[in-house]
Amino acid sequence: NNKKTFEIIMLRSATNNIYKVCKQSAFTRNFGTAEKKGSILSAWEKSCYHELDFTINEEATVYEAVERFAAYDIGALVATNTKGELTGVISERDYVKKVALLGKVSKETKVKDIATRKANVITASADESIESSMEKMMTKSIRHLPIVDGENLVGIVSIKDLIKEVKADREKTIKDLSEMALGKGGATF
Domain boundaries, the chain: 8-161
pLDDT, residue 58, reads 98
Torsion of CA 60, 62, 66, 71, to 10 degrees: -10
pLDDT, residue 185, reads 63
Residue pair 6/26 in contact by the 8 Å Cβ criterion: yes
pLDDT, residue 79, reads 98
- CA nearest to 50, candidates 9, 70, 21: 21
**Which residues, in sequence order, are CB contacts of 17 under 8 Å at separation 6+?**
64, 67
pLDDT, residue 18, reads 52
**Which residues, in sequence order, are CB contacts of 26 under 8 Å at separation 6+?**
5, 6, 7
pLDDT, residue 31, reads 34
pLDDT, residue 8, reads 46
Residue 78's Cβ-count burial label (10 Å; 0-12, 13-18, 19+) is buried
- CA nearest to 74, candidates 83, 65, 82: 65
Which residues on adjacent β-strands are paired with residue 89?
Answer: 78, 116
Q: How far is CA 151 from CA 97, 111, 114, 166, in A?
A: 29, 21, 22, 27
pLDDT, residue 178, reads 87
**CATH class of residue range 8-161:** alpha beta
| List of the chain residues with pLDDT < 50 | 1-9, 12, 19-36
pLDDT, residue 179, reads 85
